[in-house]
Structure 1
């Protein structure tokens, strides 16, 4: 039997890992990585290379853990393209938040003590969390993640190496080359020589772990579609975006055969590309392990009919999700859509192609919103929310929004559910949930009014119940 190295991020047994790698099961893609001692390379379980002997492999719960053990990424299966491994994230709020902020570039723009202040934890405690999970410091984790993203761009895009360095968060080409060589084991130019990308627009392949119920996600997006901002077809979803100073659009085309989305991006600048790609992953919920989630829900509520592969329908950020939630207070989906469309048509920013970006907080705060034709109390709530964003009174934690008049728990929860992809939101007061519970008449669900048995995956229980009525 293979010697098991200690790696707290590995949630599977050696026997499970062995069976998954021998069968190249895509459901385990990203849940663990395989270090091959004879080559010094680590791979995904779906790697097409000749399978090594079991005595020559070690298993790791993350790419970072495999790299910290001295392995470099495989150039065939490209571990930089694997879905994430969030099976342990649901109940580890602080650590999950730290990973999100770092992956969005927090340590590129501020020092570790500043990040700790944002998280409300001590520097020593955060270092211990990363050491236990990955065996590396937060800064080393951040650098390796930057290098993996750069490797993905080198493989999949035609961007010049200088632009790849900028897009992956490095301030200078020299620093990028040094870090890439140190963490990946090859230079950027060596990666490019081994497989030249085909010319064309910036398109990245974003993998997920099956099953993935695209038809139901597409149905939800179509049901809430805002024209001008979003577009949708049988196999694709796209929209305009803004991230900081960056504006543009993306279209994600579903490739069910290869368990991925091919995402074409058109951006006016590249320095926030990594954060934008991660936001797209969240919007499409590409990193959920629905097999684990649905097993948990099935055990919590036996007899509940579950649809495999349901994904949380994201929105482009917390603020937009919050505005949509306020517009949806006490009205039907169709009425909420009409109000959203009116808001976008009146206050949205149009680009050269005639597409529209969702209104900024400043645009909403500066308008009396009389054109909406809705009760004054709700117009005032929209204005307060937007103004609080402009002044910095509130941030991206919807739980703090309830201090604002007109923002109740339902609105804050919907914003967290769609805008942040929070996995543990139970919308008990939602009319759709009440209708679904009445229709199902499931004894255990009716008794467990807080859905505590479903934690830390209550958002997916919410989604499963909506699926019975939408």
Structure 2
């Protein structure tokens, strides 16, 4: 979009927040770059240039605006909704692959050479993988500088910088302030985390309006696994397994952001935790584009108009979700929670981490509530005797095949996975059919066009709305909804009276 100058100028002049994250505006006369919705009076058109990423603007020598904070804008919806190499690369960079494994690790994850990856990213984003990872580190550094009282040397390490000097130079270059000056402008509240204290951070996760929280948080709360997830005091909370440790997160919806409180055992996992929470809540979606297309179907339009901005609930751990989807085949939501809770109690890793509200973890039993465990790894699940599972024999075989494939790496559902290959690999496993594959594609892989025409809830909703209710006919009708059929699923499910469609009391 950044190449469409006329459209970009119109968006900047109207301060249209819908385009935040789609492109960045650089002001030639001031040397700063902004998000389209920046509250400052827009410059003349001839003094604007447009860039596809914050990293590209930084690489061109522009500094981030101190008013609109363009580095903190919602991400481009393209990266989560596309299946090509550039989108996979952006998801992997957000998940910290470059910081952990370098550009060679990113290239290996994509199956390309380093040179190919650099060329693809430069062509579309105006910046290579190192510059994109550097921009992410700069944003993480700003969060830590402004919201904690950690010494700057620890901030530099936690943000992923190789040295304090590189940290200082980057902060000055990107924000036109030294780290000390940046902290002075946004002093953390007294009692914030300090040296040697696990990070407890309060953050705002932006999104493009509108956002309907009902099905998003309702689904996460209604299907929450005891010990791993809970709904408490108006917030969805869960534990997260991260590369360097674990965390507890609290997420509650607001009118213009999702309030996020993170308790991390290692602050170096901050940017990865944020990226995973954003993917779980589908916060980088473009609801206006989705809803406009779905409204073109006259029978679907009234459902969209009643509660626009529905998101597709995702996951922080694709392997975890795949296991849970399998356990949830042909059983109630309560039964699926019970099966998953037993696995957590049997082989889940107990955690000793403060709640994201700063309080101690509930030490009670798993079925008594509280965040007490991490969901088991595929390796731990592969060691379980399937005969101990209280499910039909065929599902025991499917469970064993799934967790074994996840554990040995023959099945890849990660953020850089090939969606078509993942579908084929899932279908090749015993006991896994099209319904399970599409649910995993929708919520674990993040495919916005995943569709489940055989789902009974979808067929009942289609019948009640006057849409075709046989799978083949519904698939034909849904061609007009592409590439947003996963969102159509959310709207169709919303017509039913189920706990997943409403926020808990």
CA distance, structure 2, for counterparts of residue 88 and residue 324 of structure 1 = 25
Q: TM-score, normalised by structure 1?
A: 0.88
In structure 2, the residue matched to 1:3 is none
Q: How far 1:443 moved relative to its partner? A: 5.3
Are 2:336 and 1:336 equivalent residues in the alignment? yes
Are 2:383 and 1:384 equivalent residues in the alignment? no
Q: Of 288, 292, 303, which residue of structure 2 is paired with 1:291?
A: 288
Q: How far 1:185 moved relative to its partner? A: 4.3
Q: Of 119, 142, 151, which residue of structure 2 is paired with 1:151?
A: 142
Are 2:385 and 1:368 equivalent residues in the alignment? yes
1:204 match: secondary structure: strand
In structure 2, the residue matched to 1:458 is 485
Unaligned runs of 5+ in 2: 193-199, 353-360, 364-371, 499-505
Q: How far 1:324 moved relative to its partner? A: 0.7
More displaced, 155-164 or 316-325?
155-164
1:110 match: secondary structure: helix
In structure 2, the residue matched to 1:94 is 85
CA distance, structure 2, for counterparts of residue 114 and residue 133 of structure 1 = 20
Are 2:419 and 1:428 equivalent residues in the alignment? no
Are 2:435 and 1:439 equivalent residues in the alignment? no
In structure 2, the residue matched to 1:238 is 237
CA distance, structure 1, for counterparts of residue 135 and residue 448 of structure 2 = 26
The answer to whether the Cα contact below 8 Å between 2:62 and 2:174 also exists between their aligned partners in 1 is: no
Residues 269-322 of structure 1 show CA distances to partners (whole Å, capped at 9, x for unaligned) of 1222211110011111111011011122334x3441324110111223111111
CA distance, structure 1, for counterparts of residue 336 and residue 349 of structure 2 = 20
In structure 2, the residue matched to 1:10 is 2
CA distance, structure 2, for counterparts of residue 61 and residue 448 of structure 1 = 37
Q: How far 1:182 moved relative to its partner? A: 4.4
Please provide the CA RMSD for this pair: 2.7
More displaced, 439-448 or 184-193?
439-448
CA distance, structure 2, for counterparts of residue 421 and residue 442 of structure 1 = 26
Is the alpha carbon distance of 1:172 and 1:17 closer, same or farther for their aligned partners in structure 2, counting shifts above 3 Å?
Answer: same
1:165 match: secondary structure: helix
1:323 match: secondary structure: helix
Counterparts in 2 of 1:98-247, with a 5 A limit? 98-199=89-190, 200=192, 201-233=200-232, 235-247=234-246
In structure 1, the residue matched to 2:321 is 321
Is the alpha carbon distance of 1:274 and 1:132 closer, same or farther for their aligned partners in structure 2, counting shifts above 3 Å?
Answer: same
Q: How far 1:161 moved relative to its partner? A: 2.1
Residues 18-65 of structure 1 show CA distances to partners (whole Å, capped at 9, x for unaligned) of 444344343333333222222211122333334444443333343223
Counterparts in 2 of 1:265-276, with a 5 A limit? 265-276=262-273
Q: Of 356, 361, 383, which residue of structure 1 is paired with 2:373?
A: 356
More displaced, 188-197 or 436-445?
436-445
1:449 match: secondary structure: helix
1:206 match: secondary structure: strand
Number of residue pairs matched?
A: 458
Q: How far 1:73 moved relative to its partner? A: 0.2
Residues 118-160 of structure 1 show CA distances to partners (whole Å, capped at 9, x for unaligned) of 2133444333321222222222222222223322332333333
Q: How far 1:326 moved relative to its partner? A: 0.6
The answer to whether the Cα contact below 8 Å between 1:204 and 1:264 also exists between their aligned partners in 2 is: yes
Is the alpha carbon distance of 1:11 and 1:262 closer, same or farther for their aligned partners in structure 2, counting shifts above 3 Å?
Answer: farther
Q: How far 1:426 moved relative to its partner? A: 1.3
Counterparts in 2 of 1:244-283, with a 5 A limit? 244-256=243-255, 259-283=256-280
Q: Which runs of 4+ in 1 moved over 6 A?
A: none
More displaced, 209-218 or 336-345?
336-345
Q: How far 1:365 moved relative to its partner? A: 1.8
The answer to whether the Cα contact below 8 Å between 1:349 and 1:359 also exists between their aligned partners in 2 is: yes
In structure 1, the residue matched to 2:57 is 66
Is the alpha carbon distance of 1:244 and 1:108 closer, same or farther for their aligned partners in structure 2, counting shifts above 3 Å?
Answer: closer
Q: How far 1:238 moved relative to its partner? A: 1.1
The answer to whether the Cα contact below 8 Å between 1:282 and 1:314 also exists between their aligned partners in 2 is: yes
1:429 match: secondary structure: coil
CA distance, structure 1, for counterparts of residue 63 and residue 126 of structure 2 = 16
CA distance, structure 1, for counterparts of residue 436 and residue 155 of structure 2 = 39
Are 2:475 and 1:449 equivalent residues in the alignment? yes
